[in-house]
Structure 1
Amino acid sequence: MRNKMTAAAVGLLVTGATVLATGSANSHGYTDSPISRQKLCANGTVSNCGSIQWEPQSVEGLKGFPAAGPADGQICAGGNGGFAPLDNPRGGNWPATQVSSGASHTFNWRFTARHATADFKYYITKAGWNPSEPLTRSALESQPFLTVPYGGKQPPQTLSHAGNLPSRSGKHLILAVWTVADTPNAFYACSDVKF
């Protein structure tokens, strides 16, 4: 009887450790080119960001954007209320990366935990977008301007790919969506840019 209880306890410990290890090894990542809002918070460029400053890689929400995923006004935080400062437009005063219309731009992701990946998609705000309002689907072009299929592979620790930026002028927002292949989630990163 004692051996059975010891075996059961060991089994529970192993199962618990496996669950904890799996939970802590969830995929995580963010964009740093163009620099994302979460990275600006993490590196101290922007203050009053809440807990996102310690975990810029954790902006995770349901996948299926734009048909599913985070609600309008909560897109930059991935629908995670703890990261709501990312949805705050700050009067349109988020620092912006200088970019050029039509030019190829390199999009760079950093991963703190890699995961099987379906694809990466990049959306941009429409002409006339108001940078002092929270991001909504209606503010974005309905189709991504760049889609990078990834076929279920795991990305390396850093990953870059290039794409041409649509014609725009003034401040805009690029929404990068990293869709995980084997979970119901995706990762979201909003980058403010200026053409």
Structure 2
Amino acid sequence: MSRKRTMLAALGGAVLAPVLMLIGPGIASAHGYVSSPPSRQAQCAAETVSCGDIKWEPQSVEGPKGLQSCSGGNDRFADLDDDSKGWKLTPVSTQVTFTWTFTARHRTSDYEYFIGGTEVASFSGNDQAPPATVSHQVDLSGYPGQQKVLAVWNIADTGDAFYACIDLNVS
């Protein structure tokens, strides 16, 4: 009997393992951030600005949908909310191309871009997983000078989003 149970357990594990691999990573491993122009977490990873834990995982700024914070409400990444940290401004024209880099992809509802709580652009994700990078061109002609852009990647099958702030000098 014990040999029969061992065989059944092995067979069950062989059948169940691929299913768990498909389900598990789809929920927990989605990660991404704005790499260009360099977001605050990209600046931390490049050691342009001294930061805490975000230095090691710029792609992990995840929080509930609907927030307006650079840290996504994540206390571990609170440095991202500190406007006095000396973030480097990227000089840009009024047409800015934002590039998201994904280390793990997730079905996407949409991408949103905000300045001062006002949505300046939105792009559909078509409920599909993105490629390794995604770029959006955003018109910032109504926002000259120093601006902090909040970029949000709203994933489709959970209540979470990924957040990135980008410091710009729009001319």
TM-score range, shorter chain: 0.7 to 0.9
- Tell me: CA distance 1:20–1:77, structure 2 relative to 1, closer, same or farther (3 Å): farther
2:105: which partner in 1?
114
CA distance in 2, matches of 1:115, 1:177: 14
> Cα offset for 1:9?
7.4
State the partner residue of 1:41: 44
TM, length-normalised to structure 1: 0.75
Amino acid aligned to 2:91: Q
Residue in structure 1 matching 2:56, options 45, 54, 57: 54
Which stretches in structure 2 are left out of the alignment for 5+ residues?
none
Structure 1 residue aligned with 2:75: 81
The yes-or-no answer on 1:4 pairing with 2:5 is yes
In structure 1, stretches of 5+ residues that fail to align are 126-139
> Quick check: 1:108–1:158 contact (8 Å CA) kept in 2?
yes
SS in 2 for 1:161: strand
- Give the percent of matched residue pairs that are identical in Structure 1 and Structure 2: 45
What's the offset of the Cα at 1:22? 2.2
Q: In structure 2, what is the Cα distance between the partners aligned to 1:94 and 1:180?
A: 27
> Which one-letter code corresponds to 1:107 in the other structure?
F
> Aligned with 1:18: secondary structure?
helix
Q: Provide the C-alpha distance between the structure 2 equivalents of 1:80 and 1:173, rounded to a whole number of angstroms.
A: 19
AA matched with 1:32: S
Instruction: Return the TM-score normalized by structure 2.
Output: 0.84
More strand by share: 2
